[in-house]
Amino acid sequence: MHHRILGQGLRVSAVGLGAMGMSQSYGPNPGDRDAMIAVLRGAAERGVTFFDTAEVYGPYVNEELVGEALAPLRDDVVIATKFGFRIADGGLDSRPKHVKAVADASLRRLRTDTIDLFYQHRVDPGVPIEDVAGAVGKLVQGGKVRHFGLSEAAAATIRRAHAVHPVTAVQSEYSLWTRDPEPEVLPTCGELGIGFVPFSPLGKGFLTGTVTAGTQFADGDVRAGIPRFTQDNRTANQALVDHVTALAGAKGVTPGQLALAWLLARHPWIVPIPGTRRIERVEENAGATRVPLSADERADLDTLTARIEVRGDRYNDHHMSLVDR
């Protein structure tokens, strides 16, 4: 596994692992906890050092899972978690007092003394970002947190936060069919020396070719409520996947590997965190670091969404309202 450097010198594997789906969002949750622990440990054994979780996943149980799985490997891995939601009602709360309380609780669940990367999960319009950055800065000074991150933050917010306490990474949805960070957020990260961590880098499975217009989502699968995943929009968006699949086939790689390789080729400080519940997918995703793209292939993929329009919003109205824009 290759490694990359996020902002402030945080060294991680070039492809990480998002653990959310092990506890929620993609249909019935795995009943075998030991199997998920085996996947997390197996990922680390295969060179993945960057693991992503959050208190709200479950809630709480995903952090507990990650903490138990990685405790024996703690010195060899980087664990990112997040604050900023009011768990009781799904609202936002980034008041400094709440940030500290979440950090203390997350440390217990993760079975560690220090959170490597602590993201604000969503920007809270009720709390100045300067106050949030200051609160995390105090946690850094106290040794409870190593690095500060933001998720789904706009460029102006990133700049304001970074002026108070250095931002190590910004996490947002980014993939071949979600290009929102390109106009402003990615240039800002490049200018300020901040790493960028794409979540849903495989389009919640769509870019792998395993989700089609005929797919029936199970109860509890978040995709059933996302506009981009209506049957009509999946039909319309299939042309994009067909193009990716054809190019991947010509190169002898999987569509998922091609989609990740494109992200890795965008900038050397981009580290995608695809999620999975299967060790064979961990191995496949890690293989993307060994997929070269020619200048022509990169140019082709760079302009793909300009040629093939993506249909449907990436979130429903409620979740779009939580994105800082």
Which residues form the catalytic set?
A: 57
Contact 315, 323 (CB under 8 A): yes
- CA–CA separation, 267 and 262 (whole Å): 10
**Residue 254 CB-half CA count within 13 A:** 20
Distances (CA, A) of 318 to 23, 25, 314, 321, 323: 21, 16, 11, 5, 9
Burial class (CB in 10 A: 0-12, 13-18, 19+), 41: middle
SS3 176: coil
Distances (CA, A) of 146 to 134, 169, 298: 14, 12, 35
Distances (CA, A) of 70 to 3, 55, 78, 111, 124: 19, 16, 10, 9, 30
Mode of pairing for the β-strands spanning 115-120 and 91-92: unpaired
Burial class (CB in 10 A: 0-12, 13-18, 19+), 216: exposed
SS3 38: helix
Distances (CA, A) of 56 to 20, 121, 191, 272, 274: 9, 9, 31, 20, 18
SS3 23: coil
